[in-house]
Each structure stands twice: as structure tokens, then as C-alpha cells.
Structure 1
Amino acid sequence: MSDTTREKTAKTAKTSRTAETSKKKPASDAEPGRARLSVFKTYKLYVGGKFPRSESGRVYEVTDSAGTWLANAPQSSRKDARDAVVAARKAFGGWSGATAYNRGQVLYRIAEMLEGRREQFVAEVADAEGLSPERAGAVVDAAVDRWVWYAGWTDKIAQVIGGANPVAGPYFNLSTPEPAGVVAVLAPQESSFLGLVSVIAPVIATGCTTVVVASEEAPLPALSLGEVLATSDLPGGVVNILSGRTAELAAPLAAHQDVNGIDLTGADEATAKGLETAAADNLKRVLRPSPAGAPADWSADPGTRRLTAFLETKTVWHPTGSLGASGSGY
């Protein structure tokens, strides 16, 4: 074989091997400059432990502080609010009947899972509230710490606000706190995550179940919180999260006969008055928002005010001492 023929054969073999190798390479290696389509997150409601879309099919645009589009959030309807109340009522028996110790373990598990998704919440809080990554990280850390704080209160609040009452007679008179039932919560508008945690955690820590209306302008951290709750040990229906127009959802919740309490934190002063009037129809417990001109400081020590806001006091009389001629006693 001549030198010219051998050279042509070698070139042909090399070309063939190159073509074969290029076929085996992934597209990303073969075309490193090829642009990918963005996969945007689809946010949904969290009701009854599931993720339904709004019954009406409506959505609304959510933007950051600079007006940049972030996502389309589901715009809940009155029907969604009613469904959430049904889910909360169904879950109330089991959750209120759980031991305080067990509720504390569940809340602590939620804090663990929030810690594991810290980066996601830092990004969402930064966008929602116009904060730097460092400041948003501090807010998320404070929210996780608050979950842990309320987890520690579940088996202690009864000792703080309950006890034995002195009476004139051979009786024990004991007062113990009990959860009121289903609580509607209008989450703070200005604090999309720390404020949100600060109004949800005390409600469920004491054995109530809740329907939460997220911040209207910044609902994404709340909807992501639903994903954490769904994969934690929290039973479905204990927390139900709705996004949409606060005024549209607050009215049916305030007037709902199966809602036992309402937290008006996220309502403005004028709206809160009307909601308080509607809540009086079935004697709901009402937690009023901060006075006008005095925004809540969510980083401050929360105290026990929210823990006791939706508790009822049960008083029991029990005889003590000798009973009749038999001499038996208690």
C-alpha cells in the first residue's frame, strides 16, 4: 500500500471515530451554548393536606419590590375559604386530642424541615420584602427559632394559665385551658414569613386548627410553607393556606358559623371593624390588629399573648375528703 493510500485510510478512520463519539455525547456537551427553557414553579393552595388550584381557576401576578414578575399565585374564592374551614374542622378532633408533648414534637419537626430549606426561603423573603440576602437570612433564622420557641410551649402553657382555685368547701376546683376550635388568621401584610410564622405557630401549638389568608402582595413564602407542612408530621387540615385578596376572603371567614376565632392582624383598621361586627354573630374570639401607626415588631419577644388568645378555660369541681358513712374518699 502506498504512503498516499495509507494516509487517506487513516484520515477516513479518524473522521469516522470522531463522528461516532459526537453522537454519544449528551446534547449539553455537544452544544455547550444551547439555552434551556426556564422551569417556573407553580404555586398552589394548601388545603386539607393537599395542593388544589383555586376553585375559580383565577390567578394574579406577584411581583418583587422593584415590580419584576415573580410568579402567578392562585386567587382563592369564597368556595376555597369554605372548603378550608371544612378541612380544619375535620382535623380539629384529632389535633386537639393529641398530647401536648406530641404537638411539641410535630412543631419541632417543622422547624427542622424549614432549616433544611433555608436557601429557598431566604430567596423568597428577599424578593417578597426587598431585603438583602444577609437580612433575609436573618429573618428566616428568626422564623425557624420562633417555631422552636412555640414547640417548647405546648406542654407548659397549661401550667401558666391553669391551676387550682381556692374555694370554701370540701372540693378541688381546677381550671385548665382548652383550644377554642377553628381559627381564621389574616397573616401580616408586611412580614411575609417571620410574621406569618408568628401568627400560625401559637394557634396550632395550643391545639386549634387554622385557615390562613397569606399576605396579599407577598404570598409566596406562605405557599412554600405549605409544602413544608405537607411533608412534616403535621396532620392534613390542621393548617390550611389560602392566597388572594384579603378583603374578599376575610368577610366569609368572619361570618362563618363554624369558625370559632379570627386573628385580624392582616386587616387594615377600617376592614377590621366590619369583620369584628360579623364575628360577633356567633361570638367568635377576636384578636385585634395593632393600632394604626404602630406596626408590629415581629422580631420582639412574642410573650404569651397569642398563645392564650384562642383558648377557653374549663373549670372542674371535684369532691375531696370523706364521703358519707362508708368513710371512702378521694
Structure 2
Amino acid sequence: MPSTDNRLAVRKTYKLYVGGAFPRSESGRSYVVNDARGAFLANAALASRKDARDAVVAARKAWPGWTGKTAYNRGQVVYRIAEMLEGRRSQFVDEVAAGEGSSRAKAERSVDEAIDRLVWYAGWADKIGQVVGSTNPVAGPYFDFSVPESTGVVAVVAPQDSSLLGLISVVAPAIVTGNTVVVLAAEERPLPAITLGEVLATSDLPGGVVNILTGRVAEVAPWLAGHMDVNAIDLVGVADAELGKELELAAAENLKRVLRVPDKAPDWSADPGIGRLTAYLETKTVWHPIGI
């Protein structure tokens, strides 16, 4: 039997996650990902305009089936993702610690909070409708109901400072409420997002509900902001104020709903509230005659 001392390490090829599959970037490009100390970690795919367009197509295709599921079922699926993250906890801890330069104890807390955050949002799946929906009093022989519905395809520029907890905190509320998403992962810390794609691919989440791109924010985000089939965009991960303004202007072309660049970095460990649950909901009002 050959000695294991001389064996070659099996290097991982990091790819995109689009439509439930792992394609290489259409451009054939990649970029170097270093850890917090500057040491080489991996080569990640450098997404292009074509990759962004493919991701939007996949998200749009998946949206009718996903938003058509019951809220209870969506909650079950998101809870299953939390279960699978728990099973790969050690790997996520390693990747968060390496990318963010944090101690292992701090990385463990961050990963545990990300798992708990998924469970928390899963629990809200079949409750948010009762909180933001209503039966409205009207002057006439009618029932009048206001019912929340998903917005559609949401583009997300993931937080740069929190590669897993921040990512989960912006993606989970969007999909729990029936939207599909295209995520541009943290540019310098993409590995937890890539590993999350592997988790999603083997979970109960239908392909295309979450699509993950890796690459340069300044290069890919404008294509998502200006895409006419993207209904909303979250700019929380845009660090450049000038770029943020440009993306807001591009998003205005088709009246996208925009979550603007925050004035200061959010505290991802804080109680998230329901703000992001309601961010991508539209209200449909239905009138129905009484007695018919």
C-alpha cells in the first residue's frame, strides 16, 4: 500500500451556484481568496455579466413554484437548511475564522447565531401574514382583506464584514416570504457563501430559489441593479458610497424596491426584528361581496 506521506492534496475547485447546479464562470476567470493574514486560501470563480443574467433567469423560473408553496412548507424547508448547517458546523467555523481573522471561539458564536437565525426566520414563515395582513372595515356589503405577497426576484449584495451570519440575515427573510434571490457573496470572504450553496443543493430548497455568485462587487452589482427582471435589491454589502448611489440610480430604471447602503455597519448579532421580513412583501387587497 502506498505511503500517505507523499500523496497530493485534492484541491477544491470553487464554482458558482446557479439554478441548483455548480457551473464554472462563463468568463473562465477566477480570483485569489486570502485569509485575514494574507495567506492563500482558494481560487474563487469571478462572475461575469452573463453569469448574473443566468442567475436572474434561474431565480425567475423558480419564483412561481416557491411563492406558490404554503408558508408553513417554506418554513419547514428553511428549518431543514438550519439542520444541515448544524451538521457542517465545524467546516463553517473554520471558514469564518480564516476569512474574518477571528478567534475560533468568536467564529463558533457567529456560526451558532447564523443557525439560530435560520430557525428564527423559519418560525416566522407562517406568522408574518397574520402580523402584516388584515381584515379592513368598509362601508358596504363587502369583505375587504389585505394579504401580503412576495415581491419576486431579489438581488442581494451580501455584507462584507460578516461572511455567514450577515449573509443568512439578509437571505433568509427574503426566501421565507416567498421571494427568490441572487446573492453576490462577500468579495474577500466568499467561502462560507460557497459552502452554503453546497448545503442548499442537498437540502429541500428547490434549485433557483437561492443563487450565489462570487466576484467583484463593482463589476457584477451594476448588472443586477440595472436588470429589468430584478424586482428588488439589497445594497447592504456595498462599501463604496459612490457606487451605492450609482446602483440606486440604475435600480430606478424599473422602479426596483431598494434597501439602501446603511450609514453604518449593522450589528448582525442584534435582534433582527421583522424589518427584513416585510421589506420584500407587496400588499394585495381583495374585495368580496357578503352573502355570495
The normalised TM-score by structure 1 is 0.87
Quote the residue 2:286 is aligned against. Answer: 316
How far, CA to CA, are the matches of 2:13 and 2:117 in structure 1? 28
Alignment of 1:261-276 (within 5 A): 261-268=232-239, 269-276=241-248
Using the aligned pairs only, state the percent identity: 69
Q: Which one-letter code corresponds to 1:231 in the other structure?
A: T
How far, CA to CA, are the matches of 1:272 and 1:37 in structure 2? 44
Paired residue secondary structure (2:6):
coil
How far, CA to CA, are the matches of 1:166 and 1:289 in structure 2? 38
Quote the residue 1:114 is aligned against. Answer: 85
Q: Which one-letter code corresponds to 1:273 in the other structure?
A: K
Which is higher, the Rg of structure 1 or of structure 2?
1
Higher relative contact order (CA 8 A, sep 6+): 2
Q: Which of 175, 182, 191 is the equivalent residue of 2:162?
A: 191
Quote the residue 1:37 is aligned against. Answer: 8
**Structure 2 unmatched runs, 5+:** none
Quote the residue 1:91 is aligned against. Answer: 62
How far, CA to CA, are the matches of 2:11 and 2:174 in structure 1? 33
What CA deviation, in whole Å up to 9, does each residue of 1:195-249 have, x standing for no partner? 0000100000000000000000101110110000000000000000000001111
Q: Which of 197, 206, 213 is the equivalent residue of 2:177?
A: 206
Q: Which of 195, 198, 203 is the equivalent residue of 1:224?
A: 195
Q: Which of 200, 214, 221 is the equivalent residue of 1:250?
A: 221
| Offset, 1:152 | 0.5
The normalised TM-score by structure 2 is 0.98
The ranges of structure 1 where at least 4 consecutive aligned residues each deviate by more than 4 angstroms after the TM superposition are: none
Quote the residue 1:167 is aligned against. Answer: 138
Q: Which of 249, 252, 277 is the equivalent residue of 1:277?
A: 249
> CA RMSD of the aligned region, Å?
0.9
User: Within the alignment, does 1:300 sit opposite 2:275 as a pair?
Assistant: no
How far, CA to CA, are the matches of 1:318 and 1:251 in structure 2? 43
Paired residue secondary structure (2:64):
helix
Paired residue secondary structure (2:269):
coil
Paired residue secondary structure (2:189):
coil
Quote the residue 1:27 is aligned against. Answer: 2
**More off after superposition, 72-81 vs 267-276:** 267-276
How far, CA to CA, are the matches of 1:270 and 1:202 in structure 2? 27
**Structure 1 unmatched runs, 5+:** 1-25, 321-328
What CA deviation, in whole Å up to 9, does each residue of 1:78-111 have, x standing for no partner? 0000000000000001000001011001000000
Q: How many residues align?
A: 291
Q: Which of 7, 32, 44 is the equivalent residue of 1:61?
A: 32
